[in-house]
Structure 1
């Protein structure tokens, strides 16, 4: 096991809605505050989506990202900032003609999905490698589009967190690394428990771990009712952990979490009860190959 465990807090996400929980941060001020509170509770990194402050719906507005990032760099310069690039890859086929998109489709040119990465140069950004069913919709990240996004990320000096939903994503990551589109050994995130993705089981997590280079850094997390179980399992298998209102809105069965910090506190207790310790942001920066305290900016 690693001497310390890196905990990432995913504070708001793309799919959790204000209708599900009144505690979901929506405005840039609320999101920044949630990140700061999560860091102070033990998170070394925060994974950030932004939302339209009027509607609460997901947004890719660069200015909204800038407001959150600038606050965090001022208030918690040591905190590792991880911005999403996931939105913009969803396709909903028309019932009449599947070649025509229906409402809910969010497809964007690859460069548009990483526009905020080039502008703000966070420490890390997610890079989704999945093409998969998502309910009656499809998420599409073709190898060509992933390469185009990876180039923008690389040119910005940002480390991609490779979000892998199934075994084929891990195979693709190895090919892109071998061809020079990604740098090895890599920082991986195994997304588990999403419908039609890797199930949350010990063998599935072990399989995912076996398909990446031994020297890689990896995090595993699960959504919904398995979120805290995944914290324990990832720690026991030597990985890093993730929790946050993106992944679960419950602190316990039937009990809504009142904040991301509350979720982080419980995850921290799980790791510590199992004999581990959480890494500081400085320790995580060293392991993930990041500049100390945002010195690259």
Structure 2
């Protein structure tokens, strides 16, 4: 059982000590506090993790640069610049190309975001193919983020075209508004559509995050927890990444599931060493 957490720097180290094998993070500009694609910021976080006494598998996002905020419904164009961040494939992959992590995430489709909002997460079929092809040349493994059933069609196409190696590493992202709901019936439908031999994880956002940590091993899935998806340890009790990781480990161990170490995950996924 692979346990993945969403921390940053010190939190990544603490989460690894608590049992996370894989850490995934985004960075913010220290001046503006807004999300950033600056490779130097990613490098600083990765160096601090490597200098510590832990050695988690590092998973970098490529999600920055896919946000489109349209104008009003009667006048959608031009897009609203205050919430639009659309970047080229090269811009979205600069930090991956420079830092060569063991894993990167690839959002496998587009999706509306937020009730009544004009915001759209945009990942066209052409962009997905271009990103997958370019990173495959780098030798970095993809984690395919799937938010709904149709995105599994994209996954199967990428595998068929040789842009993603088989077995694919897939993250089933549940409970996000306008994506796949987090009920068991939807989960089973998604599982039946996975490509053969896939290695996969399951998670839900918000209060259902930890219940899904218990559900995941029942469907042979790995586990993802962290503040990127849920900020509470219990009702009204704010969490840290390490606390969420520790709670997930407790849940898994109490039902007899062994949590894998970073070394075991590297062997299972046949990951290439970082440079």
Following the alignment from structure 2 to structure 1, what is the Cα–Cα distance between the partners of residues 271 and 162? 20
Tell me which moved more, 280-289 or 158-167: 280-289
**5+ long unaligned stretches in structure 1:** 12-30
Query: What displacement does 1:263 show?
Result: 0.7
- 2:249 maps to 268
Q: Secondary structure of the equivalent of 2:9?
A: helix
Following the alignment from structure 2 to structure 1, what is the Cα–Cα distance between the partners of residues 64 and 26? 9
Following the alignment from structure 1 to structure 2, what is the Cα–Cα distance between the partners of residues 157 and 74? 23
Following the alignment from structure 1 to structure 2, what is the Cα–Cα distance between the partners of residues 198 and 6? 22
Query: What displacement does 1:57 show?
Result: 2.0
Q: Does 1:170 align with 2:152?
A: yes
- 1:140 maps to 122
- 1:15 maps to none
Following the alignment from structure 1 to structure 2, what is the Cα–Cα distance between the partners of residues 38 and 247? 15
Query: What displacement does 1:56 show?
Result: 2.6
Question: What count of residue pairs does the alignment treat as equivalent?
Answer: 270
- 2:197 maps to 215
TM-score of the superposition, structure 1-length normalised? 0.88
The runs of at least 4 aligned residues of structure 1 exceeding 6 Å deviation read none
Following the alignment from structure 2 to structure 1, what is the Cα–Cα distance between the partners of residues 190 and 49? 33
Following the alignment from structure 2 to structure 1, what is the Cα–Cα distance between the partners of residues 132 and 38? 20
- 1:36 maps to 13
Contact 2:174 2:204 survives alignment (8 Å): yes
- 1:191 maps to 173
Following the alignment from structure 1 to structure 2, what is the Cα–Cα distance between the partners of residues 123 and 183? 14
Contact 1:111 1:148 survives alignment (8 Å): no
- 1:6 maps to 2
Q: Does 1:99 align with 2:80?
A: no
Q: CA RMSD, aligned part only?
A: 1.3
